[in-house]
Amino acid sequence: MEPLYGGLLLADSINLGDEGARSVDEDPVNLALREIGGVSLRQGIPCYSSVEMQALFHKPYCASNALVLSLLSLLCTGEALVKLPANVTVPAVIMFGDSIVDQGANNNLGTLIKCNFAPYGQDFEGGVPTGRFSNGKTPPDLLAEELGIKEILPAYLDSNTKDEDLRTGSVLSLADQLKMFNEYIGKLKGLVGEEETSNILANSLFLVVSGNNDLANTYYTIGLRRLQYDVASYADLMVASASNFIQEIYKLGARRIGVFSAPPIGCLPAQRTLAGGALRVCAEDHNQGAQMYNMKLSSEIDSLDNSLSQAKVVYIDIYNSLLDIIKNPQSYGLDVVDRGCCGSGIVEVAILCNHATPPCLDNSKYLFWDSFHPTEKGEFSSTTIMQFSSCLSISAILVFLLFCTNGTRAAIKLPRNKTIPAVIMFGDSIVDTGNNNYIETIFKVNYPPYGKDFMGGKPTGRFCDGKVPSDLLVEELGIKELLPPYLDPTLQAKDLRTGVNFASGVPYTTVFLPRLSVEQKVISLSDQLDLYKEYVAKLKELVGEDITSTIVRNSLYIVVAGSNDMTNTYFNNPLRRLHFDFSSYTDLMLNSASAFAQALYNLGARRIGVFGVPPIGCLPSQRTLAGGALRNCAENYNQLAQLFNKKLSARLNFLNTNLPQARMVYVDAFSLPLELINNPAKYGFEVANKGCCGTGVIEVAFLCTYTCTDVSDYVFWDGFHLTEKAYRVLVHQFLKKDLNSFLF
């Protein structure tokens, strides 16, 4: 099928001159002096600030503002580096930005600020300078290339632009961007009809880059604005403009909108020269201005995300990512980040970067090409497109805007620019969401009264009256309502992208040490790991290698196991106590848990939470079996749990230190549950020493036949497992206390 449509890539080189003072009829000599005089200070682009964008709609002169019509049809024949899910389409990518994404619009406009001469373009195809502010390709080219659309996106004003290019990408003036966008929409409606046009816009990715020049040049360099505004009020003005712009494109049909923060502008080579002192250090006041703007912008984006119905508006932090590259260049294969490759590298841009200012010998070692713009390597690496110019991969953007758009509102709010695309669960009956239904075991709970408080009162195989921690975790994170069991034959593709559950539990068998268990009708951690490998292979088939890597790297992995290894395999089996004392048995469990965490890491997992063992001596069944006539908590059981937990915490800290980028977190599952049991009234409970099911002192699984009158009064559902109400308390507190440990 021939591609018919694609999208818009909008780019603005936001203001850099005396706003409102310039006209098309201005004397050419004065115009040249005005423009050349500002070249090294303003990305070489004499245009108006996006803050005062409204005044530009009747001033078409503004030279390098660019609107890239990137009709990125996914039906094109290019080989995509990023593979979209089978049931997800991105008919267009629409980007608003600055000169980093100008494809050469200035070549065909009445301006002296062009870069269609050497050494610009020295690494472009054939070494041809095209008007791109780079040594080679720019993000629009790399974006189309990674999505498999075409090799380059031509400038819309290029006289050589062909009809086929109108369907796959070009560049226009920002001064008329909304008017041109409306014109484009009109043409698209004529081409594919009203309904299909609405569908294209609703499913396109809109990416907005703004603020760089407003701060670096209009505010800090030119200085007139500092007489009118302090940093805070100017940031407010910028945010209001950005907010209005987002609302305008929303009115035109945009629904997936990513808004990039300002970068650390004080670390641009030109700003180091102008404001960094004799040593050309980063200009901290500039960076502080960027941070203030970013803080206000992120708050406004959050407000828009909540107020614009059906929209997903995401704030994307490039400040910290780019600053990390600047501070640690060798980690990214770079040597020089404080100056550009062109000429001296400290001030040259546009016409100041010319034959008389030869470039460096090896631009692959440089982050910046000139004093404002990245090199092509700075805009692309083999693993991350636009790694340095936008500091966020296309895969990550897709995860943000495609996979995180759902109907579940998060109770726990993630920090800005942090995402958890999926939750992967391993463990025992505490977190099993129904895998036991699909294995040969008599320990199933897919019958009443289990599930009495689940949706529709349906028993699903969860060892609870309702939801279990696995479900509550994804619910609180806003990922989805339930975490499905991996073995469910009705599992859908969307579930693979957002997480599945491998846990399998029988109350009287072990997970960490299955070979020591009398009853082995359970999916051990080793078996669960094999299933996980199978899952990753399926995910690659569904969304491709790149997005799979992003999902795997950013997902939250939870391991809940150990209770059964202690209560049943150890304490309820006298033979085990003859073979192992407390210390040796906990070492055995520890080695198993540690090996499992390292195996997950080797498969790409980075955010791994391992729960400690709860106060097992206070479980209703263990009170009955080992708590004496008064059914007190069995203290020796709790002592064994605490010994293991202490060792587990130390081991995870060790792994964190020795495994690069690992975020292995020990989750204290002992203290809060014990607090809940000792002080039930504090949390809205009345009964904590027996379960709601049956007599409450021993029943579990098929022994559970009748229930208490009011389950909300009980901490425990049966002799081993908590009620949904109790799990909710624990999961919420876990996320509140430990979530940031996985993210930073």
pLDDT of res. 30: 31
Please state which of the ranges 100-114, 523-537, 692-706 shows the lowest mean pLDDT.
100-114
Buried b (16+ CB within 10 A) or exposed e, 35-45: bbebbbbbbbb
In the predicted structure, residue 149 carries a pLDDT above the cut 70: no
Q: What is the pLDDT at residue 267?
A: 93
The secondary element (H helix, E strand) that includes residue 250 is helix 231-251
**Residue 531: predicted pLDDT:** 97
Predicted confidence at residue 138, as pLDDT, reads: 72
The full set of domains in the chain, from first to last, is 9-318+346-356 (no CATH), 423-743 (3.40.50.1110)
**Those residues with Cβ within 8 angstroms of residue 48's Cβ, 6 or more apart along the chain or in another chain:** 14, 15, 17, 19, 20, 55, 56, 59, 62, 175
- Mean predicted confidence (pLDDT) in 670-682: 96
Segment 419-440, tens digit of pLDDT:
899 999 999 999 999 999 999 8
pLDDT digits (tens, 9 = 90+) for 370-424: 877 777 665 543 333 333 333 344 555 555 555 444 545 567 777 766 789 999 9
Catalytic option among 241, 428, 470, 721: 721
Residue 251 confidence class, pLDDT cut points 50, 70, 90? very high
Is 280 exposed, middle or buried (CB count within 10 Å of its CB: 0-12, 13-18, 19+)? middle
Structure tokens at 20: 């409102």
**pLDDT over 60 at 29, yes or no:** no
Confirm whether 338 is a catalytic residue. no
Give residues with Cβ within 8 angstroms of 484, minimum separation 6.
433, 434, 491, 495, 500, 501
Q: How does residue 58 score in pLDDT terms, banded at 50, 70 and 90?
A: very low
Torsion sign across C-alpha atoms 158, 71, 249, 183 = positive
- Whole-angstrom Cα distance, residue 162 to residue 166? 7
Give SS3 for 560: strand
Q: How many CA atoms lie within 13 A of 387 on its CB side?
A: 18
Average pLDDT of the segment spanning 499-513: 70
**So what's the pLDDT on residue 400?**
53
Q: Are strands 171-172 and 66-68 parallel, antiparallel or unpaired?
A: antiparallel
Residue of 52 and 548 predicted with greater confidence: 548
Question: Which band of pLDDT confidence, cut at 50, 70 and 90, is reported for residue 357?
Answer: confident
pLDDT at 619 > cutoff 80? yes
Options 321, 393, 429, 563, the catalytic residue: 429
Question: Stretch 337-363: mean pLDDT, rounded?
Answer: 85
Assess whether pLDDT exceeds 60 at residue 246.
yes
pLDDT at 738: 94
User: For residue 126, is it left (φ>0), alpha (ψ between -120 and 50) or beta?
Assistant: left
> Token digits for 66?
């660019």
Residue 289, both tokens: 């201005």
Q: How far apart are CA 166 and CA 168, in angstroms?
A: 6
Least confident of 245-254, 344-353, 524-533: 344-353
Answer yes or no: is pLDDT of 497 > 70: yes
Tell me the β-bridge partners of 607: 556, 663
Q: 0.95 cut: is pTM over it?
A: no
Active site residue 583: no
pLDDT band at 43 (very low <50, low <70, confident <90, very high): very low
Distance CA 219, CA 52 (A): 13
Beta bridge partners of 663: 607
The runs of H, that is alpha helices, within 580-634 are 582-602, 620-626
Instruction: Look at 508 and 76; give whichever has higher pLDDT.
Output: 508
The DSSP symbol for 617 reads G
Distances (CA, A) of 622 to 430, 673, 707, 723: 16, 15, 20, 17
pLDDT confidence of residue 597: 97
Residue 240: helix, strand or coil by DSSP?
helix
> How far apart are the C-alpha atoms of 146 and 498, rounded to whole Å?
23
What are φ and ψ of residue 380, in 5° steps? -155, 135
**Which of 46-55, 321-330, 338-347, 642-651 tops mean pLDDT?**
642-651
Distances 245 to 50, 301, 390, 484 between C-alpha atoms, Å: 10, 12, 20, 40
Among 314, 315, 326, smallest CA distance to 387 is for 326
Task: Report CA dihedral (341, 343, 346, 349) to the nearest 10 degrees.
Answer: -90
User: In which band, very low, low, confident or very high, does the pLDDT at 560 lie, cut at 50, 70 and 90?
Assistant: very high
Residue 145: which pLDDT band, with cuts at 50, 70 and 90? low
CA angle (333 as vertex; 331, 336 as ends), nearest 5: 100
Strand partners, 207: 95, 258
For residue 152, the one-letter residue type is I
- 468/79: higher pLDDT: 468
579 is annotated as an active-site residue: no
